[in-house]
Amino acid sequence: MSVLLGEALTYSSLKAAEPLLLNEVPGALDRPVRWVHSSEVLDIAPLLNGGELLLSGGQALAGVTAERQAGYVRDLAARGISALALETGPALPGVPQAMLDEAQAAGLPVIELRQVVPFVGVMQEINSLLVSESVEQLQRGDQASHAMAAELAHGGGLDQLLAVLAEKAGVGARLVSPSGLTLGAAGSLATDDVGSVTSVDVPVRGVLAARLELHVPDDGDSGLARVAGERSVDILGLALMQRMPPGLKELAGTELMRAIKSGSQPWQLQQLGPAAGFPADGAVAAVVIRTSGAGHLRSAVDEVLNRCVAHSASYADNAELIALAALPGDARAARNALLEGLRALEVPGGSALSVGPLGMGIENAPWSLAEARRTLDLPFLVAGVADAEAYAVELLAGASLDPAIREGFVQRQLGAVVEHDRLRRSGLLATLTVWLDSGCNTAQAAREMHLERQSMHHRLQRIFELCGGDPRGTGRLVALHLATRLARL
């Protein structure tokens, strides 16, 4: 069960704080709040499940850097929380601009609480309502499940079972195979601009056999839809097992993705790969998407994969969607097409996407997946689709070099530049990084930084003075470039 964020702000315990929405996130007040939680812990994000309204007094945030504040917001957005509410006062006079900028980019509503209120009172008032309605939803979900069981016992097919579910939950219902084939449907299905969709996986003997899509109208109850859908999984699984057992290729594809996810032995992957349509010695690349809507995105991601690569398989697990792409003869071109296809995909705010490096042979799929995940954990990553191959240096250094060794190397190579930036807020390190990444192409670097070429020349001259001269044509060029990459870690 959930209440809308706009409704939560009107409850007396929270209204007394004089809440003010600080950024413009589309549909912010219509976001569902699944639970209200309070914490001053900056590393709270991994402990959240998504949908929370997080309350914070701001004391811990007031004592950290702007970069850490922005990272705090970024981590919360990635977990899919409903909103962040910060109490301003002596400790935190105002919400820092770095946090607002990051929240705006990630699509996370930030609320300023301008008066002090007891957070325990807010949580008691709103969470008690959520618990009460959750109990009612569980009861109604069980009623739907019992009615579907009775229908199945009388020989009802998938369409009849879905019709019962649609009526009891007030939704449209569709059952879709892992390959995207509609197995059955009932009720009114939502369009792009009307209603929302809740997805629930339907396994058979522990293997994903179908996905249940519940299309909730604008005036419907998405919480009830979720509960009823979860309660109906076993009944739908029985119906599928009796009438439409999953194909061998689909089963093998799901098992292959689970084996890759768990890091199984190469011989297991070499057995499962061909059964799932992946040549044992073919080129592969993994895709990782962390989002609050992993189930909703799966069909859209599968469409991109089908359009860009020879064969693929995907697997959704909580807030993470992983996929494996089999790349044809021109593997590099296919991987580039996949990157562009994913970059054109519409994803919820706060989502993070990465494409792993090219691996030769199905046994390298777990490595490609691990590198894609590590890329998403890089502290400096910006929104968009990250190409793991573009961060090979950072990934290698992060895994193989002690942080003290990295820091010492950066200090020896770029210490004067870093100190100049610290004292004068000059941004010379960023300029040097762009210039080196462009292959020392001054004109291209100036365009990327929106500078006049003369201004770029002046900056480079100052950089050369600080780090011992123009590095071009010397062995120092590689060391400087490596140091700029390590500095981001």
CATH number of the domain bearing residue 238: 3.30.450.40
* Residue 178 domain flag: yes
Asked whether residue 389 falls in the same domain as residue 411, the answer is no
Contacts of range 328-335, beta carbons closer than 8 Å, 24 or more positions apart: 331/283, 331/358, 332/358, 334/308, 334/309, 334/310, 335/285
Residue 52 sits in a domain whose CATH number is: 3.40.1390.20
pTM comes to 0.52
Asked whether residue 108 falls in the same domain as residue 211, the answer is no
Asked whether residue 262 falls in the same domain as residue 386, the answer is yes
pLDDT of residue 461: 92
Q: Among 89, 117, 145, give the residue marking a domain's end.
A: 117
pLDDT of residue 286: 92
CB-based contacts of 271: which residues, under 8 Å, 6+ apart?
Answer: none
Asked whether residue 350 falls in the same domain as residue 285, the answer is yes
pLDDT of residue 216: 85
* Residue 123 domain flag: no
Phi, psi of 96 (to 5 degrees): -60, 145
Asked whether residue 239 falls in the same domain as residue 252, the answer is no
CB-based contacts of 336: which residues, under 8 Å, 6+ apart?
Answer: none
Distance, CA of 248 to CA of 133 (rounded, Å):
42
Asked whether residue 310 falls in the same domain as residue 444, the answer is no
- Tally of residues, the chain: 489
Q: Among 209, 243, 277, give the residue marking a domain's end.
A: 243
- 233, 203 contact by CB (below 8 A): yes
Per-residue pLDDT of the chain (489 residues; tens, 9 = 90+): 568 898 889 999 999 999 999 998 888 898 888 889 999 888 888 888 888 999 999 888 888 888 899 899 999 998 889 999 999 988 888 999 889 999 998 899 999 999 998 999 998 888 888 777 667 777 787 888 888 888 888 888 888 999 999 898 888 899 988 767 888 888 887 555 556 788 888 887 666 778 898 888 877 777 778 888 888 888 888 888 776 555 667 777 788 888 888 877 888 888 888 888 888 889 999 999 988 766 667 778 888 888 888 888 888 776 788 889 999 888 899 999 999 999 988 887 778 899 999 999 999 999 999 999 999 988 888 778 889 998 888 888 888 888 899 899 989 988 898 889 889 888 899 899 889 888 899 899 889 888 888 888 999 999 999 988 898 888 888 889 888 888 888
- 382, 343 contact by CB (below 8 A): no
pLDDT of residue 205: 65
Residue 267 sits in a domain whose CATH number is: 3.30.70.2730
Asked whether residue 374 falls in the same domain as residue 433, the answer is no
Distance, CA of 210 to CA of 202 (rounded, Å):
5
- Total domains in the chain come to 4
Distance, CA of 436 to CA of 406 (rounded, Å):
19
* Residue 132 domain flag: no
Residue-range definition of the domain harbouring residue 73: 3-117
* Residue 144 domain flag: yes
171, two tokens? 């939704």
Asked whether residue 190 falls in the same domain as residue 206, the answer is yes
3-state secondary structure the chain: CCEEHHHHCCCHHHHCCCEEECCCCCCHHHCEECEEEECCCCCCHHHCCCCEEEEECCHHHHCCCHHHHHHHHHHHHHHCCCEEEEECCCCCCCCCHHHHHHHHHHCCCEEEECCCCCHHHHHHHHHHHHHHHHHHHHHHHHHHHHHHHHHHHCCCCHHHHHHHHHHHHCCEEEEECCCCCEEEEECCCCCCCCCEEEEEEEEECCEEEEEEEEEECCCCCHHHHHHHHHHCHHHHHHHHHHHCCCCHHHHHHHHHHHHHHHCCCHHHHHHHHHHCCCCCCCEEEEEEEECCCHHHHHHHHHHHHHHHCCEEEEEEECCEEEEEEEECCCHHHHHHHHHHHHHCCCCCCCCEEEECCCEECHHHHHHHHHHHHHHHCCCCCCCCEEEHHHHHHHHHHHHHCCHHHHHHHHHHHHHHHHHHHHHHCCCHHHHHHHHHHCCCCHHHHHHHCCCCHHHHHHHHHHHHHHCCCCCCCCCHHHHHHHHHHHHCC
Q: Among 393, 417, 446, give the residue marking a domain's end.
A: 393
Distance, CA of 106 to CA of 25 (rounded, Å):
9
- 348, 77 contact by CB (below 8 A): no
Asked whether residue 186 falls in the same domain as residue 266, the answer is no
Per-residue burial over 428-449, b = 16 or more CB atoms within 10 Å of its CB, e = otherwise: bbebbbbbbbbeeeeeebbeeb
* Residue 420 domain flag: yes
Asked whether residue 239 falls in the same domain as residue 369, the answer is no
Q: In this structure, which amino acid lies at residue 437?
A: D
Distance, CA of 345 to CA of 113 (rounded, Å):
35
Asked whether residue 220 falls in the same domain as residue 100, the answer is no
* Residue 128 domain flag: no
pLDDT of residue 178: 77
* Residue 127 domain flag: no
* Residue 435 domain flag: yes
Asked whether residue 262 falls in the same domain as residue 365, the answer is yes
pLDDT of residue 253: 79
Distance, CA of 44 to CA of 60 (rounded, Å):
12
